[in-house]
Amino acid sequence: MTVHYSSANSLRLATIGANRLARLLGDWNNGSGPLHSRLADSLRGLVASGALTSGTRLPSERSLSAALFMSRNTVTKSFDLLRGDGVLSSRQGDGTYISTTNSSHSIRGDDRLRSFTDGDDLGHIDLRSAAMPGLAMVADHFNILDSTRARELVASHGYLPSGLDELREAVANYYSALGLPTTRSHILITSGGLQALRLAASIVTKAGSTVIIEEPCFRGAIESLRSLGVRLVSVPSGSGGIDVDELAIVVARERPALIVLQSTVHNPTGSVLDVFRRNRVAAIANRFNTPVIDDATLSDTIIDGDRRPVPLAAGSEQVMTVGSVSKSFWGGLRVGWVRAQPDVIAELAAVKGGQDLGTSLVAQLLASNLLPQIEKARDERLRTLTEARRLVLNSFSERLPSWIPEVPMGGGSLWIRLPVARATSFAQRVERAGVRVLPGSTFSVHDRLDDYLRISYAGAPSYTQRGVELMAECWNSCYSGVSE
């Protein structure tokens, strides 16, 4: 989300939106005692843990009660209790704040990536993460670790900030085969796609820089960019990808330091930019001399249309392309990359070397042997995702016909519009029924999109189907008669 600051506060303290606060609160109303006491205890815990920092402006009682799908009176009584304890303070006409203490005013991350840190819970069906199971061929290649090349690497010091030469060569061949001439000097290997994105953003921005990002957008990108202290400005993105007309207007007005987008299988919408839009984005980057990060980590999971589109970078040297083996082969390898101009790669290598001295050579060696089999991996992903998508769309059509899913062109998740903007409160209620999902606000720069949910169908179809059944039961019992 964009960080807003209170004009009445000289310390430039942050505001937290109602949907984001609701996500942080999680399953707060389990336990005993009055509802307002349980809510107050949960808020007090967030303050004690540092998730809500001193001086943070809280959402209004009305907006928080709507996000939690509960009475405003409960929120009012909870806030009153915390004011009495000195945890909160209010200013006439200026809202309610976490009381100023000696705590840090730094902006912490929220729960956007919690699905990766919660661990397995056999008591819940988790449809939050769209990460796909690894392909069997990954395990088949483990014997490469007993090779002469592996022994040669072990005999070296093992620190290669730019990456293993044979993997850089394999990635270069990967892009050349897609119609983007690439050499090893264009490639930096990273520890996953998220590190690649953050590294690339860090060399072209500084705290306070303006960065244009899509709305909605991949939750990891929002979190990574916020951690750099940049100012996020959003441009709408839908079934056809980013709104290029609006992008041109915003770039001309804002003159940003960076544009971040997903050209090929957008997360969460599943869109793929067509050739016309790709050319328009490249032309905008060239005209305004603006760097672009194209997160294309999902590009090998295309289901419909051209399964091998020419990368966006073919139209502009301003484009830095982020890729990964996580979606095509296995996320557990933690191997990604940046494809950019050689001088940019040299700068990135220097920064990465100062951070971690290089990505695991064992994982890189495996990846270098897997990447030449990318066509086989694409075909396997196509087979499993096509059937999984068909089944989940049928399930929603039968059980929740009022929900409107956007049919994704790729990836392992659905972006679904709800009849009413109650995604955050529904996510909390359905978790108590045994299913975990992500409300649309998780993917919003501005803590909006509460009329959307993202549902993963990357797991076993029977697992997903059962999740949809439980969601339908919860929705029909609690929300079927609710209107805006």
pLDDT in tens, 312-362: 999 999 999 999 999 999 999 999 999 999 999 999 999 999 889 899 999
> What is the per-residue pLDDT for 15?
83
Give Cβ neighbours of residue 470 (< 8 Å, ≥ 6 apart). Answer: 125, 430, 433, 434, 435
* Residue 85 contacts residue 124 (beta carbons within 8 Å): no
Topology adopted by domain 136-373:
Aspartate Aminotransferase; domain 2 (3.40.640)
Identify the pLDDT of residue 9: 38
| Residue count (the chain) | 484
Assigned fold of 114-135+376-478: Aspartate Aminotransferase, domain 1 (3.90.1150)
| pLDDT, position 11 | 39
Where does residue 17 rank: exposed (0-12), middle (13-18), buried (19+ CB within 10 A)?
buried
pLDDT, mean over the chain = 89
Q: What is the pLDDT of residue 296?
A: 98
* Bridge partners, 238 (sequence order): 241
Quick check: do 114-135+376-478 and 136-373 share a fold?
no
Annotate 115-175 with three-state secondary structure. HHCCCCCCCCEECCCCCCCCCHHHHHCHHHHHCHHHHHHHCCCCCCCCCCHHHHHHHHHHH
Cα 165 to its chain centre, rounded Å, is 30
CA 333, CA 331: separation in Å to the nearest integer?
A: 5
Name residues of the chain where pLDDT drops below 70: 1-13, 92, 100-122, 481-484
Q: How high is the pLDDT of residue 156?
A: 92
Burial 162-198 (b: 16+ CB within 10 A, else e): bbbebbbbbbbbbbeebebebebebbbbbbbbbbbbb
Contact status, residue 479 vs residue 450, Cβ threshold 8 Å: no
What pLDDT, on the 0 to 100 scale, is given for residue 83?
82
Looking at residue 25, its pLDDT comes to: 85
Which of left, alpha, beta for 158 (phi over 0: left; psi -120 to 50: alpha)?
left
Q: What does the alpha-carbon distance between residue 242 and residue 244 come to, in Å, rounded to a whole number?
A: 6
Could you tell me the residue ranges of all domains in the chain?
18-98, 114-135+376-478, 136-373
What are the backbone angles phi and psi of residue 397, rounded to the nearest 5°?
-60, -40
pLDDT at 114: 53
The whole-angstrom separation of Cα 263 and Cα 302 is: 12
pLDDT, residue 386, reads 98
Candidates 3.30.420.40, 1.10.3720.10, 1.10.10.10, 1.10.260.40; correct CATH number of 18-98?
1.10.10.10
* pLDDT, position 109: 46
